[in-house]
Chains A and B, each alone.
Chain A
Amino acid sequence: MNNFTRGVTPVAQKDPYADDVTQPFWDATQKGKLMSTKCTKCATHVLPPQPRCFNCQNDKFEWVELPGTGTIYSFTVVRHPLRPGWDAVVPFAAGIIELDGTQGAGARVQANIINCDVEKIRIGDKVKVAWEKVSDTYTVFRFEPA
């Protein structure tokens, strides 16, 4: 059995199953860098990567490094376990993070929010990325109070 930690969501996947488009993101995470794709025409950030820029329909993007900080846009505290063994994990916080260095919508990420008092976190709280190396190919991002 896994050793579950309260507040920290277990990672079932051991590999990002990346394709050519998403591999640079996961390569960067191994070095502790949070990256986003940015449209080469209109500078809109799109994350996770998509085939086209929703703002100008361009299909050319460049990878840029983000500061790794952001703001809780919305969140929930999950109190009821939906998977076997997760009674040792709940309550945990998870939410939508708007990333500094991006325009917000279109480049939000959803993530587990750790190292916090789940009864006290609020929308608008500043957070920073917290990495967990799962395997040699997969390092996941969570967020914690900044």
Chain B
Amino acid sequence: MTLKDKTAIVGVGSTQYWKRGQSVPETELSMACTAILAALDDAGLTAKELDGFAIYSSSCDPATVGSVLGVDEIRFAATLTSGGGGSAGSLGLAAAAIVSGQAEVVVSLMTLQQAKRRLGGTQVGDAPPASGGGGSPYGAGGIPPGMAFMAHSGLMSPGHSFSLLTQRHMHLYGTKREHLAKIAISQRANAIKRPTSIRKEPLTMDEYFNSRIISDPLCLLDYTMESDGAIAVITVSAERAKDLKQKPVYIMGSANGGMGRWGSAIFSYFQMPDEYFASSGHRPVAKRMYEMAGVGPKDVDVALLYDHFSPMVLMQLEDYGFCPIGEGGRFIDDGNIYYEGGSIPVNTHGGHLSEAYIIGMTHVREAVEQLRGTAVGNQVKDAEIALVTGGPAGLPVSGTLLRR
């Protein structure tokens, strides 16, 4: 038994997107409620019927949200572990809850307000981070003994970590900054056509190369922006989906996880084996996802690839089989990712780099809108199958294939 085609996304809801910190006086709770109610309304459902939360990165507290919204009964509440790597996988978690008969109307969501804290800043303060210990958040406390092995290295942010993967990719395969630039420029061109986008100024190759280097080889324009907002999607059984307001978007296949020794790789000691150090970590997830769906990369019409850092788009193109390993740079050079004339349009919404950063959920929203035929600005003609991914980060990372 698999999850293939047994469930469908029937509702999408969202708040507006703000620059980091500008959503005040909204709160993460108020934005979550707004997005969930909008998603239910989009589907033709009510809060009374909501009975499941399949989330990632502990994006909200279902107990609180359920009581505030007056949900009748919560029958399923679970989160994928780790962070943004679970965004696409939360759809698979929702499907699993429904197919196993545990819940019927399941929400997946992210709500994010970075007024007081910053995701990328967790390792930046003077106090050593609590991560890297591999234990539970209720652990012994204090400074973990492993910290002394890395505290003085100067590597302290996600950007530094992804710089290390990128440098090695460049070393092995000849990947160039021009390739990363083309990702940023392509996504900006897509974002410009959309009113939801936060970055709307045209971006040229010159501007890219004049942008400040944060840590080699990544410049400011290779980094995600930071935003506030919330997005929710509602998943139900394929059977139930037939009677609802929207054209169903079926979950063909979904997988999360990754190689065991990838582990929390990039946020601790970089001990991944040589074979997949310079990768997105998605290879085994892609394989299982395609197997479940019974299709391959050639069948995908539009790819919404998690893009907290531009090189991870390039490495996912390889790991999801759009081109051979090491060929990502040349594949981009040949124009394959562009909305206009590309063989596989990538991040037609502008992505984290140019539209907004709601930790992967803007990608889910765009995948659904592409398959409904309602995408704003960059509708891929007759799109039937969309890929949406979460991560790359510490495990699990995830990928989901959706079809109309």
* A79 and B153 contacting across the interface, CB-CB below 8 Å: no
Contact in complex: B160, A78 (CB < 8 Å): yes
A112 (CB) vs chain B CBs: closest residue: B154
User: In the complex, A89 Cα to B271 Cα: how many Å?
Assistant: 27
Pick from A17, A74, A79, A83: contact of B214, CB under 8 Å:
A79
Minimal Cβ-Cβ distance residue in B for A76: B163
With beta carbons under 8 angstroms apart, the residue of A9, A105, A111, A112 that contacts B272 is A105
Given contacts A16-B148, A17-B148, A108-B270, contact A76 B126 (CB under 8 A): no
Residues of A within 8 A of B143 (CB): 13, 17
User: By the criterion CB–CB under 8 Å, are B154 and A79 in contact?
Assistant: no
Residues of A near B157 (CB, < 8 A) are 82
Residues of B within 8 A of A73 (CB): 168, 270, 277
> Do residues B124 and A22 form an inter-chain contact, with CB atoms below 8 A?
no
When the two chains form the complex, which single residue of B142, B149, B171, B212 contacts A74, counting CB atoms closer than 8 Å?
A: B171
Interface secondary structure of B, over-half rule: loop
Query: In the complex the two chains form, what is the Cα distance from A17 to B214 in whole Å?
Result: 31
**Is B215 touching A80 in the complex (CB atoms < 8 A)?**
yes
How distant is the Cα of A110 from the Cα of B215 in the complex, in angstroms? Answer: 15
Asked if A43 is at the interface of the complex by the 8 Å CB criterion, the answer is no
A94 within 8 Å of B by Cβ?
A: yes
Given known contacts A78-B215, A105-B273, A26 and B148 CB-to-CB distance under 8 angstroms:
yes
| Nearest CB on B from A38, distance (A) | 15
Check if B145 is an interface residue, CB within 8 A of chain A. Answer: yes
Tell whether, in the assembled complex, residue A106 and residue B126 are in contact, meaning their CB atoms are under 8 Å apart.
no
**What distance in Å separates the Cβ of A10 from its nearest Cβ neighbour in chain B?**
8
Judge whether B145 and A80 touch: CB under 8 Å: no
Q: Does A88 contact B (CB under 8 A)?
A: no
User: Which positions 45-71 of chain A face chain B at CB distance < 8 Å?
Assistant: 47-48, 54
CB atoms of A110 and B270 under 8 A apart: yes
B394 vs chain A, min Cβ distance (A):
16
Closest chain B residue to A138, Cβ basis: B148
Q: Which of A12, A105, A107, A140 has the most CB of B within 10 A?
A: A105
B128 at the interface (CB under 8 A from A): yes
Inter-chain contacts of A80 with B (CB < 8 A):
212-215
B127 CB to nearest chain A CB (Å) = 8
Q: B274 — which chain A residues lie within 8 A by C-beta?
A: 104-105
Min C-beta distance of B346 to chain A, whole Å: 25
Q: How far is the CB of B324 from chain A (nearest CB, A)?
A: 22
- Report the minimum CB–CB distance from B45 to chain A (whole Å): 45
What's the Cα separation between A48 and B271 when bound, in Å? Answer: 10
A18 at the interface (CB under 8 A from B): yes
Q: Is A146 an interface residue (CB 8 A)?
A: no
Q: Mark A7-28, 1 if CB is under 8 A from B, else 0.
A: 0010111011111011000100
A94-B171 in contact (CB<8A): no
Q: Which of A70-116 contact B (CB under 8 A)?
A: 73-80, 82-83, 89, 92, 94-96, 104-112
Q: Is A42 an interface residue (CB 8 A)?
A: no
**Given A11-B152, A54-B261, A76-B215, also A106-B145 (CB < 8 A):** no
A9: chain B residues at CB < 8 Å are 152-154
The answer for the CA separation of A29 and B81 in the assembled complex, in Å, is: 36
Give min CB distance, A22 to chain B, whole Å: 5
Task: List the B side residues contacting A82 at CB < 8 Å.
Answer: 124, 156-157
User: Which residue on chain A has the smallest CB distance to residue B146?
Assistant: A48
Name B153's contact: one of A77, A111, A138 (CB within 8 Å).
A111
Interface assignment of B24: CB less than 8 Å from any CB of chain A: no
B122-152 vs A, Cβ < 8 Å mask (1 yes, 0 no): 0010101000000000000011111111111
Given the interface contacts A21-B145, A108-B271, does A94 sit within 8 Å of B154 by beta carbon? Answer: yes
A104 to B163, CA, bound (A): 20
B167 touches A75 (CB 8 A): yes
9 contacts between A and B (CB under 8 A): A13-B148, A54-B261, A78-B215, A96-B164, A105-B273, A105-B274, A123-B168, A123-B171, A138-B148
